[in-house]
Structure 1
């Protein structure tokens, strides 16, 4: 009798463990709203680069963008000539799927979700505080034919 129930019990246990796996139940993409603020006012038309360890995304604010989730921080670099600049870092937070996965899979699924980023999320709205441009921040334009990276 035990030999007949063991495969069924093992199968049910495996399904329960996988049901909490964020890699299977959560998306690895996340939509976020990026907005820029200078002197308590929203500034439109600011170019921003968002990046983490799995990708880089470009946006002109305010805008909603879909990016890939990660356990790593999200770096945000924004600039608008004559207006200002910003450089911020936003940490990702573990979502509830990650903690359920840790408990149900005895920690194995935690490492899978950490590597795929499915168990983490960034804030839904990213408000970037701009710093005003100054004479010191202005750099001379590059010479003709010079490529900047």
Structure 2
């Protein structure tokens, strides 16, 4: 290999390790709500919030959420139904590991502070009357994330 080829390969490795380059500060997230019968209920008013602020949306659609190292709290309301509540766990993405391995840690600190080193589940289904936890570790391509720990909010 030539020196030029080696330099190009090294540049690619450094770029793939930097979450700020690879990931935006926002990520797309699909929020759906289900009734007690397990059928989709579109149009519920949902609020998603983390340490960077909150956003509102209607269930059944996709929105942009601000990446953060902190978990994302989700609450959906629909008239005549008990509230649907969830927490989406924030997990470090591959960009953070790449920074630590290739970047010596400075890039990891920057990406941690900006939130770009973290990712939430990309598709969740809240259930009215329940409090659920969604973890990206359980994500399968093209499928909603299965709740890690369903509880009945009426029992709280």
TM-score (norm 1): 0.73
Higher alpha-carbon Rg: 1
- Structure 1 distance, partners of 2:71, 2:27, is 14
Alignment gaps of 5+ in structure 2: 1-6, 131-153
Q: Which ranges of structure 1 fall in alignment gaps of 5 or more residues? A: 1-10, 138-149
Counterpart of 2:46 (choices 24, 45, 48) is: 48
Q: 2:100 maps to what in 1?
A: 102
Question: Quick check: 1:28–1:118 contact (8 Å CA) kept in 2?
Answer: yes
Moved over 4 A (4+): 14-18
- Tell which has more relative contact order, 1 or 2 (C-alpha 8 A, sep 6+): 1
For 1:3, the equivalent position in structure 2 comes to none
Distance in 1 between residues matched to 2:112 and 2:67, nearest whole Å:
10
1:29 and 2:26 correspond: yes
Q: Deviations over 1:83-135 (max 9, x none)?
A: 22122111111111111111112222211111111111111102112118xxx
* Pick aligned residue for 2:125 from 107, 115, 127: 127
Equivalent runs, 1:1-149 vs 2, <5 Å: 18-19=14-15, 20-39=17-36, 40-131=38-129
Separation in 1, partners of 2:127, 2:97: 32
What's the Cα RMSD here?
A: 2.3
Normalization by structure 2: what TM-score?
A: 0.70
Q: Deviations over 1:8-58 (max 9, x none)?
A: xxx99x957852211122211111111001221111221110011112110
Contact 1:95-1:119 within 8 A present in 2 as well? yes
